[in-house]
Chains A and B, each alone.
Chain A
Amino acid sequence: MADDIEISEVGGTGVPIPGDDIDTDQILPARFMKEVTFDNMADYLFYDARRDDDGEFNDHPLNRFDGASIAVVNSNFGCGSSREHAPQAMMRWGVDGVVGESFAEIFRDNCKSLGIPAITASHEEVSALQEWIEDNPDGEIEIDVEAETVTYGDTVIEGNIDDAMKEALIDGIWDTTQLMYSNLSKVEETASKLPYVEEA
């Protein structure tokens, strides 16, 4: 399980999740975090936003674009708490990649930990893609991690992927525990030089 795979491209149909500053309390309401595993998180994804007052599914995009692999979001997506439950829920629902105007930092880090490419593009490009998905629910979208592009229909978006994320995904080294574990003796050395660390 600790063996990472190289992720050079992800693709599939899309789901637009429009709105700026969509926070993690909307993505995964806190009351559903009372489980000791991430196994059921997909059931709670956008729980409140996806339901009417009577608890029935409404016309939220996640209900209309079931089976999608690429989420297309706007600016500062995933702001708020550090809960990995949010991208875990998206991944378990089926999201393999995210295209957005911008991402909150911890959310982006969490995506990297899970091997989910998060690529940014301009407001115009993202809006156009969101509209295209509405018109083409079965249309294929592809994120090329190395080229930092999003391709759909006849359009190619020149996007941007954070350097560390890109490197980690294409080299298959996004599991940072594995990456850092072999340096334990160096860690001991760094720690021993810190005045507040008592000698073991």
Chain B
Amino acid sequence: MSQGTLYDKVWEKHKVTELPNGQDQLFIGLHLVHEVTSPQAFHMLEERGHEVAFPERTFATTDHIVPTTPEGRERPLNDPEAEEMLSALEENVDENGITFFGLESGKQGITHVVAPELGLSQPGMTVACGDSHTATHGAFGSIGVGIGTSQIRDVLSTGCIAAEKQNVRRVEVNGELGEGVYAKDIILKIIQELGVDGGVGHVYEYGGSAVRDLDMEGRLAICNMSIEGGARAGYINPDETTYEYLKGREYVPEGEEFEELKQYWESIRSDEDAEYDDVVEIDADGIAPMVTWGINPGQVIEIDDPIPAPEEFEARTDREAAEKALEHMDHSPGDTMEGYDVDVAFLGTCTNGRVKDFEVAATVLEGRQVDPDVRALAVPGSESVRKECERRGIDQTFIEAGFQWRQAGCSMCLAMNDDSLEGDEVCASSSNRNFIGRQGSKDGRTVLMSPAMVAAAAVEGEVVDVRDHFDTELPSGTNRAEEVAD
């Protein structure tokens, strides 16, 4: 008999009890903490005289406010507010016996980049973090949820969150991605089709041949943007790609223990006959590179499609949003995004700040120069990513092309450090949100796209189709091509 989806099984194993308000008390197997949303929670804990219930399952790093230049990272930080936040975190982790990957640790970075690469995020876990992109960890077949500060207090104090089970939507992506098309394009396509609030009340289970073929970096990028589609969590069933990635990572047990865990991981996969609340199919064969034209991630088109006119939308909501977007972005309906002038190119973030992302972008940049009018920033998602790129000489490609090669952090994704858009600058960005004001300037304009497209935009000084403009053979975002090459 079917035991259901991965979501059903993982939920059942982590359910502690039903609460009087009707919610379930759910044990959290991995709690990730950063400097911006946690200090108030630690303070609340102290007020109640509670201790951290599971310090050994809690890991912290600093990402949102950290400067990304070596000079900027000298203590005390130039920005007194940033220094206070970082100091508060250092004090809190110290007092509570929490492992902390600080600026000097060599492992610091964005929580959602650090936890996967250290092997902290594993299949069949529940993961919580005071950050909406916690769904990222679903790439391993875990349930990752973003939580608010009072809920961080819940997890610190009790190791649990109070939650209601959601519906599960299977998002089946079949077909093969064309050259120059990546996981980022798949998730933007999904959000285009299902909308920015299509996932409210749902968890997305991503599957199908195109998802199965993706490497872990691609899977992480897809799950990362679940919240942009309104789904609080999104996951992919674990398979050999997952297990191979995990093998040998710092926090992953070896030998017999690994094999035992693998049995658990296999057991929590969705059953063949699991029932879903609904199933949506997406065709990967036809996807072109995707670019946003508006002010939310659902306002997105394929690179050669026209920017829509407000009257093309049926829903009043979408029409009004389109009008606002056209005004903010200064677009005319009917134009394509090709040729839209770019002032800033930003590569990094918890969506696309991994080694593979920089590798793909470097292929585009090799032997080319960033347009002299473009300010280009490459910000590795973690210090480990930076060091690996440097070991492989990828950093040199960026530097020679005219990119600034930085240190790890969230950086210009939300501009809580010095990296910010100015005035109405346009940014070709590998990040996940194009909300007004998101990148630090209320008039700033963000165009979301894949790392390959960001590199191409940096070189041309405008949004272009990476497939047309270069004779370079672009690396694939799948395992499939590598298997063939083997």
CB < 8 Å neighbour of B85 from A29, A36, A190: A36
Q: Which residue of B lies closest to A169 (CB)?
A: B21
Alpha-carbon gap, A82 to B149, bound state (A): 8
CB < 8 Å neighbour of B122 from A21, A23, A48, A196: A196
Query: Are B436 and A34 touching (Cβ within 8 A)?
Result: no
Q: Which residue of A lies closest to B195 (CB)?
A: A76
Residues of A close to B85: CB separation below 8 A:
34-36
Query: Are B16 and A187 touching (Cβ within 8 A)?
Result: yes
How many residues on B have C-beta within 8 angstroms of the other chain's C-beta atoms? 82
Chain B proximity mask over A22-42: 1 for CB below 8 Å, otherwise 0:
010110011101111110000
Min distance, Cβ B85 to any Cβ of chain A, angstroms: 6
Asked whether any CB of chain A lies closer than 8 Å to the CB of B402, the reply is: no
Query: Are A183 and B25 touching (Cβ within 8 A)?
Result: yes
Query: Are B154 and A176 touching (Cβ within 8 A)?
Result: yes
Asked whether any CB of chain A lies closer than 8 Å to the CB of B160, the reply is: yes
Asked whether any CB of chain A lies closer than 8 Å to the CB of B74, the reply is: no
Query: Are B47 and A1 touching (Cβ within 8 A)?
Result: yes
Surface stretch bound by A, among B196-204, B302-310, B353-361, B369-377: B196-204
Asked whether any CB of chain B lies closer than 8 Å to the CB of A58, the reply is: no
**Given A167-B21, A196-B29, also A110-B442 (CB < 8 A):** no
Alpha-carbon gap, A31 to B433, bound state (A): 15
Alpha-carbon gap, A80 to B146, bound state (A): 11
Chain B proximity mask over A148-185: 1 for CB below 8 Å, otherwise 0:
00000000000000011001100101101101110110
Query: Are B435 and A34 touching (Cβ within 8 A)?
Result: no
Residues of A close to B17: CB separation below 8 A:
183, 186
Alpha-carbon gap, A146 to B95, bound state (A): 43
Asked whether any CB of chain A lies closer than 8 Å to the CB of B2, the reply is: no
Query: Are B16 and A186 touching (Cβ within 8 A)?
Result: yes
Query: Are B37 and A82 touching (Cβ within 8 A)?
Result: yes
Residues of B close to A25: CB separation below 8 A:
414, 433, 435-438
Surface stretch bound by B, among A8-16, A59-67, A100-108, A131-139: A100-108
Total cross-chain contacts (CB, 8 A): 218
**Given A21-B321, A25-B433, A196-B264, also A180-B154 (CB < 8 A):** yes
Asked whether any CB of chain B lies closer than 8 Å to the CB of A92, the reply is: no
CB < 8 Å neighbour of A187 from B47, B48, B53, B436: B53
Min distance, Cβ B146 to any Cβ of chain A, angstroms: 4
| Interface size class of chain A, counting residues whose CB lies under 8 Å from the partner chain | 35 or more
Of residues 18 through 33 on chain B, the ones whose CB sits less than 8 Å from some CB of chain A are 19-23, 25, 27, 29
**Given A23-B435, A36-B84, A193-B13, also A179-B19 (CB < 8 A):** yes
Query: Are A48 and B29 touching (Cβ within 8 A)?
Result: no
Query: Are A34 and B433 touching (Cβ within 8 A)?
Result: no
Min distance, Cβ A47 to any Cβ of chain B, angstroms: 9
Alpha-carbon gap, A110 to B50, bound state (A): 21
Alpha-carbon gap, A183 to B317, bound state (A): 44
Asked whether any CB of chain A lies closer than 8 Å to the CB of B159, the reply is: yes
Alpha-carbon gap, A30 to B441, bound state (A): 11
Of residues 133 through 161 on chain B, the ones whose CB sits less than 8 Å from some CB of chain A are 134, 146-151, 153-154, 157-161
Query: Are A176 and B150 touching (Cβ within 8 A)?
Result: yes
Of residues 77 through 100 on chain B, the ones whose CB sits less than 8 Å from some CB of chain A are 79, 81-82, 84-85, 88
Most buried by B among A84, A85, A181: A84
Q: Which 9 A-B pairs have the closest CB atoms?
A: A113-B150, A84-B148, A34-B81, A110-B148, A82-B146, A36-B39, A48-B442, A84-B149, A82-B132
Further pairs besides A34-B36, A34-B416, A109-B148: 18, Cβ < 8 Å: A21-B197, A25-B438, A30-B415, A30-B440, A36-B40, A76-B197, A79-B196, A82-B134, A102-B200, A106-B232, A168-B21, A177-B48, A179-B19, A180-B158, A183-B16, A186-B25, A194-B13, A196-B122
10 A-B residue pairs with Cβ-Cβ distance under 8 Å, sorted by A, are A20-B321, A26-B435, A30-B414, A38-B40, A48-B436, A82-B146, A109-B148, A164-B164, A177-B153, A194-B29
